[in-house]
Structure 1
Amino acid sequence: MAELIGAIGSSHAPSISFAFDAGHQEKPEWKPFFESYRPVHNWLKQKNVTTMIVIYNDHLNQFQFDAYPTFAMGIAKQLNIADEGIGARNFASVPGAPDFGWELAKSLVTDEFDLTICQEMELDHGVMSVLPLLMPPSWPIRIIPIHVNVLREPLPTPMRCWKLGQSIGRFIKNSACNERVVVASTGGLSHQIHGDNFGLVNPEWDNRFMDLLTHEPEILAHATHEDYIYRGGLESVEMMLWLTMRGALSETSESFNEIQRFYWAPMLTGYGLLALEAEKPATPSSK
């Protein structure tokens, strides 16, 4: 039987990729950020995670606005690295999980999520600014990327993202596959990168969001796009991606341990990291 080990929420940003590739891990301004991922990296290794489902949004690298799907899944043996304008980063291709991915796709379609299936997919910083922080370049964990549209209207609602996560969680709980799974989501917290509110960052809201996500996620599921935008800027609708991974955890575990929580807001976005480990139900004692 498959097992959902836990869930991870992480900001993504091009600046993370640039700092990583430039070797800034020991620079004072970056060291606390990179070190915050070490406990999560060690946790994934300790728990022998085999597959990671990554909820993210593509930034016009795999898709263009002439055909920009609401939900798309990458199902391939190997996933390539996107060239985001200065050449593809110097990483090997990332291993996919096609067998498990096809089973997940069938389950999501049965739950009436109409997916675009990509048998070739290039991963941009929506995945690749985070993945090297969680795993070494040899990529010991197979990846199933699920793109969610948070760029072009009409967007899926927060409730739709929550239900997508629940559907993923139910599939893992009922799957006969022998997989140890983590559901991860990536997306900026508060930020707006254009218009009159350019540079908006709201640390108070970002931390409140992580509190609600951990303990009262249904409040976030019932919110509107405008609720997110008012508090965190236009691009903060990416927070819905975190809600998706939390929906998956809600289907498999009523309690969990916090492996890591970190927040930092130095520039144009709030950088957050949250890792939750699902607790197994207690086994009744025999008397």
Structure 2
Amino acid sequence: MSDLILHNFAISPFSEKIRLIFGFKQLHWKSVTVPIIMPKPDVTALTGGYRRTPLLQIGADIYCDTSLIAEVLDKRSPAPSLYPPTVNGLARNLAQWADSTLFWTAIPYAFQPAAIPSIFGDISAEEMQAFSADRATMRGNMPRSSMGEAKGQLCEYLRRLDSMLESDAPFLLGAQASIADFSVYQTLWLIRTAPAINPIFDGHPKLLKWMDRVAAFGHHQSETLSSAEALEIAKKAQVFDMDGRNFVDSHGIALGEQVAIMPTDYALDPVVGELVIASENELAVRREDARAGTVLVHFPRVGFQMKRAK
């Protein structure tokens, strides 16, 4: 069975989500550190343009977006499940809210000047300026909340989350952890790392204890891999993850056609390739790269759009 290779960086909240899922499932993994900002030549070689972090690589299969990565890990290691049957739909919907609404509410609050040293460490003014410019390019025309709006809305969301723990259940949806716990945690984790801004959690002791429980899953066992080694693994791989998918046509596009797939919200960098998977919840294209060889790049349907390539 091919190794699990996570392309990530330390302060990425979405990467922390997947690292904790490795711990939850006790999965051994390999870590490739990617640049925080563009250019990312080795990432581009694998994905064809998709630039969000993290990516999961299994051989020559490249999985984009943590919602799909979590599905892949759950299939690989079904127990304990990220999707307990009694709360499956609720867990998925709460996770989607956390990955979008909660995340974009928390980010302006997290990246205020007082928190920068705790989050970024010894970063120069020039490096911070480059990071800000990179993220502005990623966001494009997405609206950005003011600090007052972000803090006010975040406080309300914390009150709502805290109320979900009033039954003394250990996790947000009951006795078992689910994908919802990891998705909510990843954004709050970034704020909690910064002493200048984490007093926002004051008055929410149950929420803090819940965060401690999620953090206790840890990251399990990992080893470092270079991006060059990861590219070589992709180039040598022969087996692709294409089995067991029904063809679901919602675009009038047939398998084998050239398509462009990109997110629907931000970082709208299209990935062009031959459509090889169009199932209920997944799209994938096959593409060629001089350095990575033949790769399959996988996306979830939710949150992504597909068009015929021009």
Normalised-by-shorter TM-score class: under 0.3
Q: Which has the higher contact order (CA 8 A, sep 6+)?
A: 1
Point out the structure with max Rg over C-alpha: 2
